Structure 1
Amino acid sequence: MASSGSGVESPPPRTTEEDRLVRYGTSMFGGRPTFTLVRQETDSGGEWTLHELLPCEQAEARRDRLERGGRSLSITPVKELLIDVSGDNLQSKSEGWTWDEWAGAKVARLDPTRVRALQDVVREAIEDTPGKTDEVLRGGNGFVFLPESAGIRLAVAFRGVKPIQRIDRMRSLARGVARMSSEECYYWYAKCRSPSSPNGEKALRVLLTNHIE
């Protein structure tokens, strides 16, 4: 460390594997962030796309299971889906993680109307997320890595709101997801993505919006 008054600043502390585990929580992938939220600006406003991050082999296996059940899943190499919004800064924003042989399994893309309806639940879900969240909450293009618990909550909200047309129903679903416990979010996420539960998303919408005439 530089002596006091030398005018030479000490280098910033190096982020260790243990630091990253603390920041993103433990998971079956060694503490990696397991979701990413991407914001892209369009002529009509910002769009959000949520991806779950998986090893390519697992992402492809999930896609195959869904296709056997008549459903689809879009997967994209992680570097490819993030380079569009980060450009040459991807490495600096990856916080030491390497993404070779990893894919993003798309949860949902939301248009500007749905983005506005979910603004509060997204802000609350990611407020303690490591990294800079301003890029996805305000104008412009950017992304933020998410720990599993935040990603699961947003996945439930994104999948639930996707086909809804009325603003009042969108907002009701957003409020309902915001009030859910973490255990409830995990339950509904499993229901919404399971090939053996094709009506999981419909059941979620009935639960949270059916009181609105």
Structure 2
Amino acid sequence: MASRDSEFGSPSAEDPDEDRLVRYGTSMFGGRPTFTLVRRETDGGAEWTLHELLPREQAEARRDRLERDGRSLSLTPVENLISDVAGDDLLSKLDGWTWDEWVGAKVARLDPTRVRALQDVVREAIEETPAETSEVLHGGEGFVFLPESAGIRLAVAFRGVKPLQRIDRMRSLARGVARMSDEECYYWYAKCRSPSSPNGEKALRVLLTNHIE
């Protein structure tokens, strides 16, 4: 994966507006972050929920395509995704972006067992971004915005691990995703979400876990 300096540039500390615009510079939406990862605490431990951030019209069109194929997609206004974990600090944590007519398309929610299995791949993905890993890797509740490349890597891991029951298979899948190039992650992300490829997630799990008896 690219280093933070090479991927996000070296913005001047004297120009906070420019800093905000280049921090998520891999995005197709003018530098805007395109994923958010939220951590919430439950009685059994931490849960993670990953959403892709999209203009409402684009998200609804994707949902319609999936529904025609018998699949579903949950959409939630962006500020509703994070308001409970951001609290009174919501405005500053929006990082200067406005999210009117944007929604989060849910990728997956992971329970505490799967959160533990994916700790390393999530840490490595977030460390290559402007986000603070402490927001979602340590105790308490929080969220991070993510650029496209990191979000897609996590989307592949989240969708792949979701139905697995054995810890060894979860960890094997996580290691496999961590070793993938960005190009491989984009390929599998497209396979996993495409209405025309309903077996994409199964193929990913076979590739990364089928060697385990």
**2:158 alignment counterpart:** 158
Structure 2 Cα separation of the partners of residues 65 and 51 of structure 1: 18
Structure 2 Cα separation of the partners of residues 128 and 192 of structure 1: 23
- CA displacement at 1:132 relative to structure 2: 2.2
Structure 1 Cα separation of the partners of residues 55 and 138 of structure 2: 30
Cα deviation 1:81-122 (Å, max 9, x = unaligned): 110111221111111101111100000000000000000000
Structure 2 Cα separation of the partners of residues 109 and 73 of structure 1: 13
Identity among equivalent pairs (%) = 86
**2:3 alignment counterpart:** none
Q: Which structure has the bigger radius of gyration?
A: 1
TM-score by length of 1: 0.92
Cα deviation 1:37-86 (Å, max 9, x = unaligned): 00000000000000000011111111111000110000100011110111
Question: Quick one: structure 1 residues 102 and 37, their matched pair in 2 at CA, closer, same or farther if it must change by over 3 Å?
Answer: same
What are structure 2's unaligned runs of at least 5 residues? 1-12
- Greater shift, 150-159 or 89-98, is seen at 89-98
Which amino acid is 1:15 matched to?
P
Which amino acid is 2:125 matched to?
A
Which amino acid is 1:158 matched to?
F
Contact 2:26 2:149 (C-alpha < 8 Å) held by counterparts: no
**2:133 alignment counterpart:** 133
- CA displacement at 1:164 relative to structure 2: 0.2
Structure 2 Cα separation of the partners of residues 208 and 26 of structure 1: 27
TM-score by length of 2: 0.92
Cα deviation 1:151-207 (Å, max 9, x = unaligned): 000000000000000000000000000000000000000000000000000000000
Q: What is the CA RMSD across the aligned residues, in angstroms?
A: 1.1
Structure 2 Cα separation of the partners of residues 129 and 45 of structure 1: 25
**2:16 alignment counterpart:** 15
For the residue of structure 1 that corresponds to 2:81, the secondary structure is helix
**2:31 alignment counterpart:** 31
Q: How many residues align?
A: 201
What are structure 1's unaligned runs of at least 5 residues? 1-11
**1:86 alignment counterpart:** 86
Which amino acid is 1:137 matched to?
L
Which amino acid is 1:63 matched to?
R
Contact 2:69 2:195 (C-alpha < 8 Å) held by counterparts: yes
